[in-house]
């Protein structure tokens, strides 16, 4: 395309991650034309450097745990090269041809290049060869640029070129000694993945008192027990104060707030993410640069007067999860199409994120939660009753292996007798979560839920036990 040629579409999306792709799909289904701009790989962070590769690296850990719990079975040596090869296959060897084909089949125009707002309804795209293309939107521009890892300002840390989620998920080798900074989801998943694939000395530095501190407290405690059992060293109340790495890619020394310095072969920073809004031209439409784009429940940017700008997925800072970004995107695409037709907005469009997003942390044990924790429910003023149950005491769980440990919690709204939140922490609990998501979002009354009979002997008998413990 020639430099400076203007193109007009109903909708222009910047960023072809899971959120951006779903906006395009829904907007086109709604009768609109769309273009989507991507400067790296269609499919986004999730497909190549986040959800997909991390889960491919964690699968052997999962299976090793399962095998170890069944007397009479043993696992041979892990063939790391084969695990990494399967990870590469899962990320399509960093080739997005399939995703681009899908976008074009929607049909939508795929534009490879870096997109930037250039005033209202205009997107200026810089292509890899330095060319430029200007796109204008009749209805809406949607920002779906995701987020980037935060590296805290610890002396020497940035200079040491630490790993972030990008490098660890794409690694071609497993470090002998690894220091992980952070106690959140990326830290826990990747510490366990690397340890399971052969890291001899894995140390996790947690500045607070617990892993996964936004979940129910028992989640972090059970995970810490599992880490300790497998030899992962979790240091709570420990800050990283200084880093030295004299040779690029060489040994790294982590100086801590407590205890002697730690020497390692790699240091992974997993201390959260920031919205990818830098150099996105937000200033050209009067928005602050380098901050999440605040949106209403229809995903429309609240600060833009005539409502042509939307933001979905990580970039709006609401919930940093692929499935929630995709949900927001479906809402957003439908809303843009409805507004273009002059229709009433579909119902359910004000629900995005309202109940608390479901999340699975793919560690062993898996940490699976939906809705509110007890602390959040109490802070929001609900009259709460909490019911806990030992998941290892369910027959279906016992049959899965010796030493199966886990805990479930239901947070009940005593005024309406519905579930506000559910947490399961146990091996293989991920597939239990969607039942909880349905119960929480559909606000199924507990005396109705009582009639949903779980099969014997499955782990889902936990539902029966929780309801019995509640008194039903
Ligand atoms: C290690 C890790 C594991 C994770 N695992 C899970 C998981 O198991 N489950 C889960 O639900 N979530 C997981 N997440 C979170 C998940 O990856 C994100 O929530 C999700 O990727 C957000 O999707 P998105 O479409 O908003 O952004 P992204 O996936 O980040 O996509 C944004 C796209 O926009 C492009 N872009 C950015 N700026 C521009 C520009 N100016 N011009 C053109 N293109 C641009 C980027 O290149 C990128 O392709 C994980 C995150 C990490 C870091
Ligand atoms: N399975 C999944 O669903 C999954 C997996 C990975 C990531 N994600 C998503 O990606 C997002 C990013 O994950 P993350 O783990 O980077 O962020 P996070 O917010 O989950 O955890 C960040 C951790 O770093 C700590 N921290 C922050 N600043 C620090 C500092 N200066 N020094 C030491 N510790 C510090 C925090 O206390 C917290 O424990 C999350 O919101 C998560 O939802 C999801």
Instruction: Please state the rounded mean pLDDT for residues 110-139.
Output: 96
Render pLDDT for 293-319 as a digit per residue (tens, 0 to 9): 999 988 999 999 889 999 999 999 999
Can you tell me which atom of ligand 1 is nearest the CA of 147? 30
Rounded CA-CA distance 468/209 in Å is 33
Could you tell me if residue 198 is inside a domain?
Answer: yes
The least confident of 162-166, 223-227, 417-421, 439-443 is 439-443
Can you tell me which atom of ligand 1 is nearest the CA of 273? 53
Instruction: Please state the rounded mean pLDDT for residues 435-451.
Output: 96
Does any ligand 1 atom lie closer than 6 A to the CB of residue 20?
Answer: yes
Which residue's CA lies nearest to atom 24 of ligand 2?
A: 271
Q: Are residues 163 and 26 in the same domain?
A: no
- Asked if residue 352 has pLDDT above 70, the reply is no
Question: What's the pLDDT at 137?
Answer: 98
Render pLDDT for 380-432 as a digit per residue (tens, 0 to 9): 999 999 999 999 999 999 999 998 999 999 999 999 999 999 999 999 999 99
Task: Name the domain count of the chain.
Answer: 3
Q: Are residues 18 and 140 in the same domain?
A: yes
User: Which of 225, 163, 166, 223 has its CA nearest to residue 199?
Assistant: 163
Could you tell me if residue 69 is inside a domain?
Answer: no
Could you tell me if residue 86 is inside a domain?
Answer: no
Could you tell me if residue 356 is inside a domain?
Answer: no
- Pick 347 or 447 by higher pLDDT: 447
Does any ligand 1 atom lie closer than 6 A to the CB of residue 38?
Answer: yes
Does any ligand 1 atom lie closer than 6 A to the CB of residue 47?
Answer: no
Q: What is the number of the ligand closest to the CA of 167?
A: 1
- Asked if residue 3 has pLDDT above 50, the reply is no
Q: What is the number of the ligand closest to the CA of 54?
A: 1
Q: Which domain holds residue 398?
A: 365-470
Does any ligand 1 atom lie closer than 6 A to the CB of residue 53?
Answer: no
Q: Are residues 257 and 316 in the same domain?
A: no
Residue 246: CB atoms within 10 Å = 9
Q: Are residues 203 and 301 in the same domain?
A: no
Biggest distance spanned by C-alpha atoms of the chain: 71
User: Which of 471, 454, 147, 431 has its CA nearest to residue 315?
Assistant: 147
- Asked if residue 115 has pLDDT above 50, the reply is yes
Could you tell me if residue 360 is inside a domain?
Answer: no
Instruction: Please state the rounded mean pLDDT for residues 369-382.
Output: 97
Tell me the best of 146, 184, 280 to mutate to test the pocket of ligand 1, counting ligand atoms within 8 Å of each CB and taking the most.
146
Question: What's the pLDDT at 344?
Answer: 77
Does any ligand 1 atom lie closer than 6 A to the CB of residue 46?
Answer: yes
ipTM of this complex: 0.98
When the pLDDT of each residue in the chain is averaged and rounded to a whole number, the result is 95
Question: What's the pLDDT at 249?
Answer: 92
Does any ligand 2 atom lie closer than 6 A to the CB of residue 362?
Answer: yes
Render pLDDT for 48-89 as a digit per residue (tens, 0 to 9): 999 999 999 999 989 999 999 999 999 888 999 999 999 999
Render pLDDT for 227-265 as a digit per residue (tens, 0 to 9): 999 999 999 999 999 999 999 999 999 999 999 999 999
Q: Are residues 307 and 419 in the same domain?
A: no
Question: What's the pLDDT at 128?
Answer: 85
DSSP letter for each residue of 150-217: -----TTTGGG--B-HHHHHT-SS--SEEEEE-SSHHHHHHHHHHHHTT-SEEEEE-SSSSSSTTS-H
Q: Are residues 174 and 253 in the same domain?
A: yes
What percent of the chain shows pLDDT beyond 90? Answer: 92
Question: What's the pLDDT at 2?
Answer: 44
Q: Residue 315 has which token pair?
A: 């970039």
């Amino acid at each position: 395309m020639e430099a400076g040629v203007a193109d007009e579409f109903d909708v222009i999306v910047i960023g072809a991650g899971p959120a951006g792709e779903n906006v395009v799909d829904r907007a086109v289904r709604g009768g609109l034309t769309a273009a989507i701009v991507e400067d790296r790989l269609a499919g986004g962070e999730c497909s190549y450097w986040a959800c997909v590769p991390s889960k491919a690296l964690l699968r052997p850990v999962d299976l090793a745990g399962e095998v170890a719990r069944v007397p009479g079975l043993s696992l041979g040596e892990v063939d790391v090269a084969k695990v990494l090869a399967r990870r590469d296959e899962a990320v399509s060897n960093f080739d997005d041809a399939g995703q681009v084909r899908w976008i074009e089949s929607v049909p939508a125009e795929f534009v490879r290049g870096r997109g930037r707002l250039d005033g209202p309804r205009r997107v200026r795209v810089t292509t890899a060869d330095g060319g430029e293309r200007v796109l204008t939107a009749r209805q809406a521009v949607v920002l779906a640029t995701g987020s980037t890892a935060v590296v805290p300002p610890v002396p020497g840390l940035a200079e040491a070129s630490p790993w972030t989620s990008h490098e660890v998920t794409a690694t071609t080798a497993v470090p002998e000694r690894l220091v992980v900074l952070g106690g959140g989801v990326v830290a826990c998943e990747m510490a366990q993945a690397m340890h399971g694939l052969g890291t001899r000395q894995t140390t996790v530095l947690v500045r607070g008192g617990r892993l996964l501190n936004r979940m129910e407290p028992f989640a972090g405690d059970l995970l810490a027990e599992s880490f300790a059992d497998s030899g992962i060293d979790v240091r709570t109340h420990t800050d990283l104060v200084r880093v030295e790495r004299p040779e690029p890619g060489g040994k790294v020394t982590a100086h801590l707030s407590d205890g002697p310095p730690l020497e390692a072969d790699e240091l992974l920073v997993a201390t959260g993410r920031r919205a990818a809004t830098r150099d996105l031209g937000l200033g050209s439409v009067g928005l602050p640069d380098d901050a999440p784009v605040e949106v209403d429940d229809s995903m429309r940017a609240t600060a833009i007067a005539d409502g042509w700008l939307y933001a979905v997925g990580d970039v709006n800072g609401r919930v940093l999860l692929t499935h929630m970004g995709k949900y927001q995107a479906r809402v957003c695409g439908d809303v843009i199409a409805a507004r273009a037709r002059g229709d009433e907005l579909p119902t359910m469009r004000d629900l995005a994120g309202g109940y608390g997003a479901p999340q699975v942390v793919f560690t062993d044990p898996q940490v699976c939660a939906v809705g509110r924790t007890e602390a959040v429910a109490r802070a929001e003023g609900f009259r709460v009753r909490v019911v806990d149950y030992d998941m290892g005491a369910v027959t279906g769980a016992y049959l899965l292996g010796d030493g199966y440990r886990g805990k479930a919690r239901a947070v009940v709204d005593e005024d309406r007798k519905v579930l506000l939140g559910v947490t399961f922490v146990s091996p293989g609990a991920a597939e239990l979560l969607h039942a909880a998501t349905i119960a929480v979002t559909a606000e199924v009354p507990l005396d109705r839920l009582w009639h949903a009979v779980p099969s014997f002997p499955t782990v889902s008998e936990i539902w029966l036990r929780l309801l019995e413990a509640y008194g039903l």
